[in-house]
Every structure is written in C-alpha cells, then in structure tokens.
Amino acid sequence: MIHCADLRIEDEILPLFDFTFNYHSGQAVRALLLEPPSDIKETLHRQQVLKGFQANRALLKEYSFSRFNLAEIYDFLESFEVGSLSAAKLRWKLTFNETERSQKRGKIIQLILLFHKIYFTYTSKLDLNAFPPDYAKELAQLNRFFLDFDPERYEGFIRKKKLDIGDVVDLMLLIARKTTSGEMGAFWQRWFQFEAWLSVSNGISKNGFNFPVFDQSNFKLTAVYHPLVRNAVRNDLTATRNLILLTGPNMSGKSTLLKAISLCVYLAHAGLAVPAAAASMPYYKNISVAINLTDSVVSGYSHFMSEVFALKTVVQEARNGDPCFAVFDELFRGTNIEDALEISSTTIRGLTRFKNSLFFISTHLHQLRDMEEIKSGQVTSSYIECNLDKDTPVFTYKLKDGWSDLKLGRILFEKEGLNKLLNV
C-alpha cells in the first residue's frame, strides 16, 4: 500500500527525471516513478539496472538523435501494411509508381540512418557486464534487432547513393516479417524502456542523488534535502525510536523536511536514487504520507475526517504486522484543541507499539511534551530551529534534538501593526 499523493510525484518530481525524446519513452519514465515495485527483489533489480546505466554514463551522456526522424519512422512502421507482400509485387509497384518509390525509399533511409547511429554510437559499445544478467539479455536483443537491418552495409549504400529498388524491397519485406512475428512491437517496447532507464539515470546524475541501502535495523539519512528547494539546507536524521515528534513554529520548514524525508523513502522503494548524501532504511510494506490534507468537497469529508481515515488505514496495516512508514503533518489540527490533545496522546501511545514501523508526526500541541512516553524517551522529540533577532524570526531550517516552544503568531501579528490597526 502506497498513499503518497501529497508528494506530488507526477507534477513536481517527474520532471527531475524525464529527459526523453518521445511520448512513449516519457510514459515509460512515468511508470517507473508512479508504479513502485511490490517487493524488495524488484526494487533492488531496478537499482542494479540504473547502476548499469550510471557505469556507462561516459558513453551515453551525449545520447541524442532527431525527434522528428524517430516520430516519422515510428508512424511509418506502426502503419505498415503487411498484406500479401511479395518481392515481385513490391518491385513492380516501386518501379512504376514514382511517388510511392520516393516515399518508401525516404522512410527506409531515415530508418537505416537512425538505426546505424544508435547501434554504432551507443548500444553496441555498452558494457553489458555492468547490468543485471536479465537486462543485459534485453540489451543484447535490442542490438540484434538493429543488426538484422544490416545498418553498416545499407548506410554505406546510402552514403554512396547506391540504395536501389531491390534494397528497398528487401528491407520492406524484412519489416513485414518482423511486424507479423511480433518482433517489431517487442523492439519498440525495449527501446522505449531503454530510453526511460537512461532518462532516469540522467536525472540521478544531474541532481546528484545517491542510491540507498535497505537495512531492516537502521533508518539513517545523511544530508537529506528537498530537491525543489533552491539552496536547500541539508539535515541528518537517525531514527532511534519508531515515532518521531517534530515541532517548530510556522514557516520553520517542518512540512518541507517531512516531504524531503518521505520523498527519500518513496524513491528508494521505487528503486531510484534519493536526494541525500547517503540513506539507509528498512524496506516498508506500506508507505503513507499525509501532508497538507484538505477538505474533500466531493466526498464530504472534513479535514479532520481526512486525518482520521488516513490514520485508520495506517494503523490497520501496522496491526497486520506489516512494516509501515507514515507521516502525519500537524495531526488533528482540524479539531478543537481539547479533542486534539486527547486523541493525539492516544495516537502517540498506540503507535509506539508497532516497533517494526516508523512514524513522523509534526505538531503545534506543546502540551504533549508532558506525556510520559515523551519525557521517558520512548518517543523522539526533534524541532526545526528558528531564532529571534529583535523580534524578527531567523529561520535556519536545521533539525535539532529536543522541543521548540517558540510561537511566532503573536510576534508576526504585532510586527505587521495589526494591534494598532485593530484598536483604531
């Protein structure tokens, strides 16, 4: 179970990894980000594939070709009419129909030149030993498909302007056979997936992300940050308890930090690298991130009920014994303070029972610090630092151990002169 809509993966994070040249490869990148594997074996396999691309980065960093040519070739091959083609019929048709001959010859030339460039410049030079064996086989099959078109020979004919009707006929018959056998469809799928892996690998390098390791006994993030924040402050975090309570005044960066931590967990489980210098974490069966929950006009749920249902889903999964990672930003702020205190205390006590899970809760309920579970250290208390300089808040965005009692609401209210304005 993964509930991470609040991380806005498609709208905000996908562009960090999508450097594709066509719609189909872009959709493959989208699938890699939005469809995380359901088990650690597939997650680690994705890591190994991407590490293979990283190992071949020097070769692939200049990977490029004409998007226009690819679009035309794809449309040509996808609309290719196999019918009852024969060499004799094709030769006759191309000999006596100049328009048809010119069109088909032009498309064949585009195809050969593109295949020649991709194969001889890039895919044939890949170090296949850097990839997992099964994906290395996929790349080998991709290369065999290119070679079936004898790109070196036909590129020479094209360069010398010696590509004749017989060559065009032979290549069209080859296309017909591969279309009928299903090889053509498999080829496109392999190529688009290759470009998706390459695109994600480029995103990892461009953003300076690093691959995490999975360790069931350790959750540690070094220099974690949110990749969309310019000049982001980087924080270290080691979870020594299964529940971390986060405090700090408004605008101090609590939500951003929780998003950064959650993003690391999400991307790690998707098999990708993460925005941190280093990361180690358990493999979680369930991931739930509740940040900036809002009322639902369609369902009729209030903000409070949205929080309740999000919490209920997590607790049910944790009770089943599944390792869970969950984030609740300012839990129960949608109800009155008396209710919020009572049910927050119940929630904190209850969540401490699920030792193989990890929970983050941010709160403005300062009275919670009097809970025995917090005073005795059963719950980790952390805060985002903010200092005051002559009643002006100075945000450091640094994560510290302990508790923040700083309240900025009244200070900012007075600083804006509202006391005087309202007393007029």
Domains and CATH numbers, the chain: 23-207 (no CATH), 213-423 (3.40.50.300)
328 touches 303 (CB < 8 A): no
pLDDT digit string, tens, across residues 349-368: 999 999 999 999 998 888 88
Residue 30 has pLDDT above 90, yes or no: yes
For residues 337 and 251, give the distance between their C-alpha atoms in angstroms, rounded to a whole number.
21
For residues 46 and 274, give the distance between their C-alpha atoms in angstroms, rounded to a whole number.
13
For residues 72 and 281, give the distance between their C-alpha atoms in angstroms, rounded to a whole number.
46
Q: How far is CA 368 from CA 226, 246, 351, 375, in A?
A: 28, 11, 15, 10
Confidence of residue 191 (pLDDT cuts 50, 70, 90): very high
Residue 89 has pLDDT above 90, yes or no: no
- Mean pLDDT across the stretch 128-135? 97
Q: What is the pLDDT at residue 233?
A: 94
Q: What is the pLDDT at residue 84?
A: 62
Query: Which segments within 263-377 are labelled E, that is strand?
Result: 278-281, 286-290, 324-328, 358-362
pLDDT digit string, tens, across residues 277-294: 999 999 999 999 988 755
Q: How far is CA 143 from CA 167, 174, 175, 178, in A?
A: 21, 16, 16, 15
Residue 37 has pLDDT above 70, yes or no: yes
**pLDDT top residue among 413 and 385:** 385
Task: Report the amino acid identity of residue 382.
Answer: S
pLDDT digit string, tens, across residues 202-237: 999 999 999 999 999 899 999 999 999 999 999 999
Q: What is the pLDDT at residue 297?
A: 46
Q: Are strands 220-224 and 213-214 parallel, antiparallel or unpaired?
A: unpaired
247 touches 364 (CB < 8 A): yes
245 touches 382 (CB < 8 A): yes
Residue 110 has pLDDT above 60, yes or no: yes
Q: Tell me which residue of 341, 408, 348 sits closest to 378, measured CA to CA.
A: 348
* Sequence-distant (≥ 6) Cβ neighbours of residue 292 within 8 angstroms: 6, 255, 329
Q: Are strands 235-238 and 220-224 parallel, antiparallel or unpaired?
A: antiparallel
Q: What is the pLDDT at residue 82?
A: 61
**pLDDT top residue among 105 and 411:** 105
Helices marked H in 98-150: 98-117, 133-148
Residue 336 has pLDDT above 70, yes or no: yes
**pLDDT top residue among 82 and 267:** 267
Residue 257 has pLDDT above 90, yes or no: yes
For residues 404 and 359, give the distance between their C-alpha atoms in angstroms, rounded to a whole number.
19
Confidence of residue 411 (pLDDT cuts 50, 70, 90): confident
Nearest 5°: the CA angle 251, 14, 297 is: 60
Query: Which segments within 270-357 are labelled E, that is strand?
Result: 278-281, 286-290, 324-328
SS3 304: helix
- Most confident range (mean pLDDT) of 4-8, 178-182, 203-207 is 203-207
- Determine what percent of the chain is predicted with pLDDT higher than 90: 62
**pLDDT top residue among 301 and 86:** 86
Q: What is the pLDDT at residue 309?
A: 85
Q: Tell me which residue of 330, 350, 360, 386 sits closest to 263, measured CA to CA.
A: 360
